[in-house]
Amino acid sequence: MSKATPTPTPTPTHPIKLGLLALVAVAIASSWLVFPYLVQGQQLLRDVGDNSRMIKAGSVSRYLTRELINTPALEITATLASDEYFQYVDRAAIVGNLRPDRNVVFFVSETIHRGDLPSEPPRATLHVGDRVFQPSRTEGPSDVDHHRLTVYSFAKRDTDGNVIDFDAAGRVRLYVANPYLGSARDMTFVGSWNTPYALPEELKSRADVTPVAMLALGAGLLSSVLTPCLLQLVIMFGGIIAGFATVPGKTGADVAQMTPLIRRKVGQVSVAFVIGFTLLYGLAGAVIGAIGHQSQLFFAEYSRMAAVISGAIVIALGLWVGLRGTRDMVCRIPDRRAMDALSVRDIAGTVIASMGYALGCTACFGGAIVATLVVYVGAIGSAAIGAGIMLTFAIGVAIPFLLAAFYISRVESILIALAGHARSLSYASMAIIVAFGVILITDNFHTVSDLMYPYLGL
């Protein structure tokens, strides 16, 4: 009776060659970087959004603006900066400071053609029915010559903390007073807005947001806004592959028979990772599109909490990867049920880790994402448009990741390394994942990106 010939154990690849092969995989996963070099992201965003945004912004601004006086000597206008105003007009950068969810905001523009404006901004009061309110905040330059823009914020609650019912009043009036044109006494002008106020339906149309515009906006996000996030996501992807694509086993396991299992796990884990961040970014886009600039207020208030929570999730999963690597399978080649159970847990862990880190990224760059959707397209009130733009961006990242995984699954030397060094790779993966979790919790996300950028010339 003849003995079965044992399968020869493959010769380990030289470390330098293995390192070069791994660098090729990293380069493939990072191939989305061609966008920042070949596409001027900010210019692309402006080109896509300017025409439709400028037309709509002008219409919205005119609808909410009142002429208080218009003479050859003096012009004063007041704009009610309602929620809709910030959805379409390019003032998204200041919405976090003005908090239109808590204040009624007015922009008062003064232009004088004879002499100079008074040295101080005008005094303003808001009349709601029989009640008169003083601004809680006034921001405007002093000692100007011919033009001045002043911002007034009136709290939506009175001094007793009660919500002011603007709608019941039927209208609000803004009184603006200053000693103009050399007058010894204040000259007072009034603007009036009916309440409740809302934009006409024709101004809320989304007809200008075409599929081509959504693709261009997704490319603009990819090439300019979220590059720092994605640089770190590539490193996370490598850590996840090194940790979850291995099969814990006894030292000296037959790696030749393990490589088919590793090949399958590389595919499973990479798809799970892509699904995780794609779902998270799509959900973020839907939320931003549905609630508009309110999401910018949300990010301003809760981004740190979201980053801490996502960091804790990432750290927990990193520690699990390390503990997973200490496990010895009872057989040299795990049975089908054990392998399937391991795969299910690894896929679930990968999805959670990917979504957790993408959540941290969204928390850190939420303001930039909102500004893109609000400023360049006015995609407010449409969850589908917001999700579509973010999914377009996510797919642009997902394709290089999947191509990198396909490359890894076809390079036998990398598969042998994954099969033969499960424990050490699990520890290395744990270190990488935990480190990025700490980065999120300690709010050092941008610090890491700033270290990378000089070497990329971005």
Q: Which two tokens stand for residue 436?
A: 């990025």
Mean pLDDT confidence for 322-337? 65
Cβ atoms of residues 98 and 105 within 8 Å? yes
Asked if pLDDT for residue 324 goes beyond 80, the answer is yes
142-188 confidence digits (pLDDT tens):
888 889 999 999 999 988 888 888 888 889 999 999 999 888 899 99
How far is 415 from 413, CA to CA, in rounded Å?
5
For helices 227-244 and 336-377, give the axis angle rounded to 10 degrees: 180
76 or 232, which is more confident?
A: 76
How far is 158 from 220, CA to CA, in rounded Å?
43
Cβ atoms of residues 135 and 153 within 8 Å? yes
**Confidence (pLDDT) at 408:** 92
For helices 422-441 and 412-420, give the axis angle rounded to 10 degrees: 90
31-90 confidence digits (pLDDT tens):
887 777 776 655 666 565 555 555 566 777 788 899 999 999 999 999 998 877 776 665
Phi, psi at 426, each rounded to 5°:
-65, -40
Q: What percent of the chain lies above the pLDDT cut of 90?
A: 27
71-84 confidence digits (pLDDT tens):
999 999 999 988 77
Mean pLDDT confidence for 347-376? 78
How far is 231 from 50, CA to CA, in rounded Å?
29
**Confidence (pLDDT) at 53:** 58
How far is 337 from 343, CA to CA, in rounded Å?
10
Cβ atoms of residues 392 and 216 within 8 Å? no
Alpha carbon 413 to its chain's center: 38
Q: Domain 58-201 falls in which CATH fold?
A: Immunoglobulin-like (2.60.40)
Q: What percent of the chain lies above the pLDDT cut of 70?
A: 77
Residue 372 burial class via C-beta count within 10 angstroms: exposed 0-12, middle 13-18, buried 19 and up? buried
Q: Convert 184-203 to b/e letters by CB count within 10 Å (16 or more is b).
A: eeebebebebeeebebeeee
- pTM metric for this prediction: 0.66
**Highest mean pLDDT out of 71-80, 249-258, 409-418:** 71-80
Q: Which two tokens stand for residue 455?
A: 């070497």
The domain limits of the chain are 15-38+207-456, 58-201
193 forms beta bridges with 172
299 or 245, which is more confident?
A: 245
Cβ atoms of residues 35 and 437 within 8 Å? no
